[in-house]
């Protein structure tokens, strides 16, 4: 038997017991007569002790152990002379009688410690060593917990976990497909699923009215921070449901995950329409951990002869709590921040409402005391606050002020990592209109049903049609999204037409789905959550990469495997990808 007990498990009540243990040598310390070795496995660390006086040969052997050697020991649990309260096993140590070296280790290229000296690339190359580190290990434990509680919750709700194929035909989720050449059908290609969307809809037609799957999805996108070409979804679909049923069911899922993994109880998840989210927060994934709603200041700012405001399509502001204290330098740095090309504002105007009632703005030349007073009133600012104002083109300004709101909150530490504020955003537009190409795109995907009240607009003004689509955002990150689907062939065909597909193209790509709609398709809808994302947000991290055992780097490479890589000519020929 390799081991009778794991590391990280022994305590005072085990004193006197004989144990056999295995693990990796974290470090050893040689203190003259005594040698201490920290033995590590995924359960924790145990201090081993060797005494030169009682067994010099064994002590010498312990001293020869290198970092990350894999060893087995037999020994006795004893009370520690100097207790370490920081450590779970800090009250005991194991006096070793026997050591077996199970395997040696080269010196690792970086230290296997919480704070490692290894840079990103090195840790990715030796990901199997990085995974030994406590913080990375805890991330994977969290991920496993989230997946486990998802399965338990959905099982209890009557869902079936059903797998769908990976070698398929394109599914439109708005990204490029990864394709796989077919050897047996030369010149033809499979696509990897961007999501199991069409399959889960077909399962509804088949009568499996509550489906879920924790599933890999593949999207070939250009570099975007915090994206992985393959990622995992908690993919779900239900039949005979309306939006309300979906929101209730999956609000329950999130509550369950947050409670089971963090012990956090959340109240009912608030709901907000897309239009309100954009108006109040400048984004469809609002961070509700703090207030700072966006204010429309057009009525008090425009028409005073100040050209920046007068010529702007819109004038928007946010109140910074306690912002009157901001220094010139802090304000300048925010101005520079909003002027970065990613944000795109042309400038920023501020107005400080000082304690004692004196107001001071960066445009005092153009606005008098009473004007500033009206700004204060309309924005609801208090003494001690500051109003930040952006003006310009509507789309740019709303986006910029939304980002400014987040940046200021970040700088003021208002984005509390211990707070969890989910929100449903509903009533997304069905289509986005691309001004350049003058074409419509599906905002969610082409299978999303239009809001019944907007049906007429499909003919007259498709941009204004609202969809039965919803997202869940948590702390400013979109963690899931879905919709009630179209289940009628004619309507589906019409939406395809609006999206620029001819009947033939629609048939060629999605004929199977539209045909299925003719065989008794029930009303249905669903949602998919990003598992990697949920984990990252729960852990308060910006990066989904840290929650994936073997992630790709920012350019989509697996630097450990060195993939993607070239394949040899024989293989290319076999696939019909090379002229001989
Ligand atoms: N397939 C969609 C997505 O991946 C989710 C859904 O509509 O259920 O975003």
Q: Whose CA is nearest to atom 1 of ligand 1?
A: 197
Is the Cβ–Cβ distance between 416 and 309 less than 8 Å? no
The reported pLDDT for the residue numbered 35 is 96
CA dist 240 and 523 (Å) reads 5
pLDDT tens, position by position, 402-438: 999 999 999 999 999 999 999 999 999 999 998 899 8
State whether the beta carbon of 196 lies less than 6 angstroms from ligand 1.
Answer: no
Over range 351-360, report the average pLDDT. Answer: 92
The reported pLDDT for the residue numbered 227 is 86
> What pTM was computed for the model?
0.95
Which two tokens mark 298?
């057009």
Angle at CA 30, nearest 5°, toward 29 and 31? 115
The reported pLDDT for the residue numbered 580 is 59
State whether the beta carbon of 172 lies less than 6 angstroms from ligand 1.
Answer: no
Strands of the sheet containing 477-484, edge to edge, are 160-161, 210-218, 230-239, 524-530, 477-484, 469-474, 422-426, 271-273
> Residue 357: which pLDDT band, with cuts at 50, 70 and 90?
confident
- Distance (angstroms) between ligand 1 centre and the Cα of 197 equals 6
Given a cut of 70, whether residue 579 has pLDDT beyond it is: no
State whether the beta carbon of 201 lies less than 6 angstroms from ligand 1.
Answer: no
- Distance (angstroms) between ligand 1 centre and the Cα of 543 equals 21
To the nearest whole percent, how much of the chain has pLDDT over 90? 94
CA dist 339 and 390 (Å) reads 11
pLDDT tens, position by position, 485-535: 999 999 999 999 999 999 999 999 999 999 999 999 999 999 999 999 999
To the nearest whole percent, how much of the chain has pLDDT over 70? 100
What are the residues facing 74 on neighbouring strands? 20, 98
Q: Give the pairing of strands 386-392 and 314-320.
A: antiparallel
Given a cut of 80, whether residue 237 has pLDDT beyond it is: yes
3-state helix, strand, coil in the chain (%, to 5): 30, 25, 40
DSSP state of 236: E
Which two tokens mark 140?
């994977």
- Distance (angstroms) between ligand 1 centre and the Cα of 204 equals 15
The reported pLDDT for the residue numbered 42 is 96
Q: Give the pairing of strands 189-191 and 179-181.
A: antiparallel
- Distance (angstroms) between ligand 1 centre and the Cα of 69 equals 46
- The answer to which of 106-120, 153-167, 213-227, 479-493 has the lowest mean pLDDT is 213-227
Maximum Cα–Cα distance for the chain, whole Å? 93
Q: Whose CA is nearest to atom 8 of ligand 1?
A: 527
- Distance (angstroms) between ligand 1 centre and the Cα of 67 equals 46
- DSSP letter for each residue of 131-155: TTSHHHHHHHHHHHHHHHHHHHHHH
| Nearest CA among 536, 525, 518 for reference residue 479 | 536
Is the Cβ–Cβ distance between 277 and 286 less than 8 Å? yes
The reported pLDDT for the residue numbered 515 is 96
State whether the beta carbon of 23 lies less than 6 angstroms from ligand 1.
Answer: no
Peptide bond into 564 cis (omega under 30): yes
* Residue among 170, 482, 486, 526 whose CB has most ligand 1 atoms within 8 A, to mutate: 482
CA distance readout (Å), 472 to 292, 427, 482, 564: 20, 12, 9, 34
Which two tokens mark 525?
């809808």
DSSP state of 20: E
The reported pLDDT for the residue numbered 53 is 92
CB count in 10 Å sphere of residue 268 = 10
pLDDT tens, position by position, 17-57: 999 999 999 999 999 889 999 999 999 999 999 999 999 99
Given a cut of 90, whether residue 468 has pLDDT beyond it is: yes
- Distance (angstroms) between ligand 1 centre and the Cα of 553 equals 25
Given a cut of 80, whether residue 543 has pLDDT beyond it is: yes
On the CB side of 152, CA atoms within 13 Å amount to: 10
The closest-lying atom of ligand 1 relative to the alpha carbon of residue 525 is 8
Q: Whose CA is nearest to atom 3 of ligand 1?
A: 528
State whether the beta carbon of 481 lies less than 6 angstroms from ligand 1.
Answer: yes
What are the residues facing 524 on neighbouring strands? 239
pLDDT tens, position by position, 445-454: 999 999 999 9
Q: What rounded mean pLDDT belongs to the chain?
A: 95
Q: Whose CA is nearest to atom 4 of ligand 1?
A: 195
Which two tokens mark 428?
């997304």
CA dist 50 and 58 (Å) reads 7
The reported pLDDT for the residue numbered 480 is 98
Is the Cβ–Cβ distance between 409 and 287 less than 8 Å? yes
Given a cut of 90, whether residue 255 has pLDDT beyond it is: yes
Over range 396-402, report the average pLDDT. Answer: 98
Given a cut of 80, whether residue 233 has pLDDT beyond it is: yes
The domains found in the chain, sorted by start residue, are: 12-103 (2.40.50.140), 136-162+195-271+421-541 (3.30.930.10), 290-411 (3.30.1360.30)
Given a cut of 80, whether residue 224 has pLDDT beyond it is: no
Given a cut of 80, whether residue 229 has pLDDT beyond it is: yes
Q: What is the three-class DSSP state of 395? A: helix
Q: Give the pairing of strands 422-426 and 469-474.
A: antiparallel
Which two tokens mark 94?
């194991």
């Amino acid at each position: 038997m390799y081991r009778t007990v794991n590391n990280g498990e022994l305590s005072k009540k085990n004193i006197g017991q004989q144990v056999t243990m295995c693990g990796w040598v974290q470090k050893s310390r040689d203190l003259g007569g005594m040698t201490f070795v920290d033995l590590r496995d995924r359960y924790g660390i145990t201090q081993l002790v060797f005494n030169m006086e009682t067994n010099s040969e064994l002590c010498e052997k312990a001293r020869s152990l290198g970092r990350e050697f894999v060893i087995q020991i037999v020994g006795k649990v004893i009370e520690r002379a100097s207790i370490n309260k920081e450590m779970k096993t800090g009250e005991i140590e194991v006096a070793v009688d026997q050591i077996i070296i199970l395997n040696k280790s080269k010196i690792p290229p970086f230290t296997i410690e919480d704070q490692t000296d290894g840079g990103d690339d090195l840790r990715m190359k030796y990901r199997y060593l990085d995974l030994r580190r406590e913080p990375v290990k805890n991330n994977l434990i969290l991920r496993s917990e989230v997946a486990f509680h998802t399965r338990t919750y959905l099982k209890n709700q009557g869902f079936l976990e059903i797998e769908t194929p990976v070698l398929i035909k394109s599914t439109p989720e708005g990204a490029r497909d990864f394709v796989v050449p077919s050897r047996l059908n030369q010149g033809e290609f499979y696509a990897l699923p961007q999501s199991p969307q069409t399959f889960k809809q077909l399962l509804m037609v088949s009568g499996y009215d509550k489906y879920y799957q924790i599933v890999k999805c593949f999207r070939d996108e250009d570099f975007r921070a915090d994206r992985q070409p393959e990622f995992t979804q908690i993919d779900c679909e239900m039949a005979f449901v309306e939006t309300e049923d979906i929101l209730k069911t999956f609000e329950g899922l999130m509550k369950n995950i947050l409670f089971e993994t963090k012990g956090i109880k959340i109240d009912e998840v608030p709901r907000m329409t897309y239009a309100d989210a954009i108006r109040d927060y400048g984004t469809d994934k609002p961070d509700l951990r703090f207030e700072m709603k966006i204010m429309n200041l057009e009525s008090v700012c425009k028409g005073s002869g100040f050209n920046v405001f007068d010529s702007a399509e819109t004038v928007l502001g946010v109140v910074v709590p306690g912002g009157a204290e901001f220094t010139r330098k802090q304000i300048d740095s925010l101005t520079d921040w909003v002027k970065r090309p990613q944000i795109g504002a042309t400038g920023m105007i501020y107005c400080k409402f000082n304690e004692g009632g004196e107001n001071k703005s960066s445009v005092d030349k153009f606005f008098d005391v009473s004007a500033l007073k009206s700004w204060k009133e309309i924005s609801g600012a208090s003494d001690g606050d500051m109003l930040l104002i952006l003006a310009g083109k509507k789309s740019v300004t709303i986006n910029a002020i939304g980002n400014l709101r987040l940046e200021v909150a970040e700088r003021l530490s208002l984005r509390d990592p211990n707070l969890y504020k989910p929100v449903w955003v509903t009533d997304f537009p069905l289509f986005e209109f691309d001004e350049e190409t003058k074409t419509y795109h599906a905002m969610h995907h082409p299978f999303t049903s239009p809001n019944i009240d907007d049906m007429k607009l499909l003919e007259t003004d498709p941009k204004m049609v609202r969809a039965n689509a919803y997202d869940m955002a948590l702390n400013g990150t979109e963690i899931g999204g879905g919709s009630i689907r179209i289940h009628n062939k004619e309507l589906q065909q019409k939406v395809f037409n609006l999206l620029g597909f001819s009947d033939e193209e629609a048939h060629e790509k999605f004929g199977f789905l539209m045909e299925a709609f003719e065989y008794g398709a029930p009303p249905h809808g669903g949602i998919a959550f990003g598992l990697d994302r949920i984990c990252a947000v729960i852990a308060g991290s910006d990066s989904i990469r840290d929650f994936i055992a073997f992630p790709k780097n920012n350019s989509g490479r697996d630097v450990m495997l060195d993939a993607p890589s070239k394949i040899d000519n024989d293989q290319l020929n076999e696939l019909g990808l090379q002229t001989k």
